[in-house]
Amino acid sequence: MTLPEEDFAVYDQEDSEAQLSGVLGMFESGHRVVDLGAGRGRIALPLAEHGVEVLAVDQDESALMHRKWSEHANLRIAHEDFLASSASWMETESMDGVICLGNTLNLISDPLLMRNLFHRAAGTLSIGGSFLIDDFPVWGPDLIRTQWPLGISPDRTQQVVWASGGESFAYRTGSDVDSDRRHPKPGERLLRAWTMAEFEIMARESGFRPGKHHESALMIRFVRSD
């Protein structure tokens, strides 16, 4: 499977650097981290340069084939769907971190798959290990519903249209923005607007402490409890 080009640049440079700085501040040289949905290495490669042992997981083979992946002895690659029951990353143990950033979780729509992901992440982590996700569930759904008239950003460069039920949405940018088209069209990719309340339940069931919002780093941190 090959993802659209824009999926590898979900943040502008300033936000991406802020998130990366937050991640690097949580792990030290010698720590072991799994990066789920690693893409082209936005997080994995700087972590490896930081001395962290990284297992980068992605199902897009083309994203894992560029030359920079081979420059770090402490970086391993797993070409697989990290949600699959046979995924090898779950066989690792006593990891210091599991990372799933870049709004990857919005691509998961099935609650059972999401619960399994939280459970598997907890099973992979050592006590005190961190599961890091984007902070969209903290601010995204409410901001879009209350501050984007007709689902369109104030500068009219972005649009969100909700599917029936209000749990999933299609995201449009640029020339695809259309105020007359206020529902997803057939074949348009839907993203799940997970809420913090949903994630807190899954985290508690999996053995995590309540999530902490690291606002400056645009992410939520769940820590595996005793």
Note the pLDDT tens digit of each residue in 149-182: 788 989 999 899 999 888 999 989 889 999 999 8
Which residues on adjacent β-strands are paired with residue 222?
A: 131
Q: Which tokens hold the place of 126?
A: 């050592």
Confidence check: pLDDT of 28 > 60: yes
The arithmetic mean of pLDDT across residues 17-43, rounded, is 95
Q: What would the pLDDT profile of 181-204 be if each residue is shown by its tens digit?
A: 989 999 999 999 999 999 999 999
pLDDT given for residue 93 in this prediction: 85
Q: Residue 209 phi/psi, 5° resolution?
A: -75, 165
- What is the edge-to-edge ordering of all strands in the sheet holding 125-134? 75-79, 53-58, 32-36, 95-100, 125-134, 219-223, 212-214
5-136+195-223 CATH fold: Rossmann fold (3.40.50)
In degrees to the nearest 10, what's the CA dihedral of 72, 74, 79, 80? -150
Q: pLDDT grade, residue 221 (50/70/90)?
A: very high
Lowest mean per-residue pLDDT among 76-90, 99-113, 154-168: 154-168
* Averaged pLDDT score across all residues of the chain: 90
Q: Is 153 exposed, middle or buried (CB count within 10 Å of its CB: 0-12, 13-18, 19+)?
A: middle
CA atoms within 13 A on the CB side of 122: 19
pLDDT given for residue 96 in this prediction: 98
Residue carrying structure tokens 């949903």: 198
pLDDT given for residue 103 in this prediction: 87
What is the rounded CA–CA span in Å between residue 80 and residue 95?
A: 19
The arithmetic mean of pLDDT across residues 12-35, rounded, is 95
What is the rounded CA–CA span in Å between residue 194 and residue 167?
A: 7
Strand segments (E) across 59-150: 75-79, 95-100, 125-134
Confidence check: pLDDT of 17 > 90: yes
For residues 37 and 104, the answer to whether their CB atoms sit within 8 Å is yes
Domain with CATH 3.40.50.150 in the chain: 5-136+195-223
pLDDT given for residue 67 in this prediction: 62
Q: pLDDT grade, residue 90 (50/70/90)?
A: very high
For residues 109 and 16, the answer to whether their CB atoms sit within 8 Å is no
For residues 44 and 66, the answer to whether their CB atoms sit within 8 Å is no
pLDDT given for residue 165 in this prediction: 87
pTM, two decimal places: 0.90
Q: What would the pLDDT profile of 47-76 be if each residue is shown by its tens digit?
A: 999 999 999 999 998 888 766 777 778 899
Q: pLDDT grade, residue 4 (50/70/90)?
A: very low
Q: pLDDT grade, residue 10 (50/70/90)?
A: low
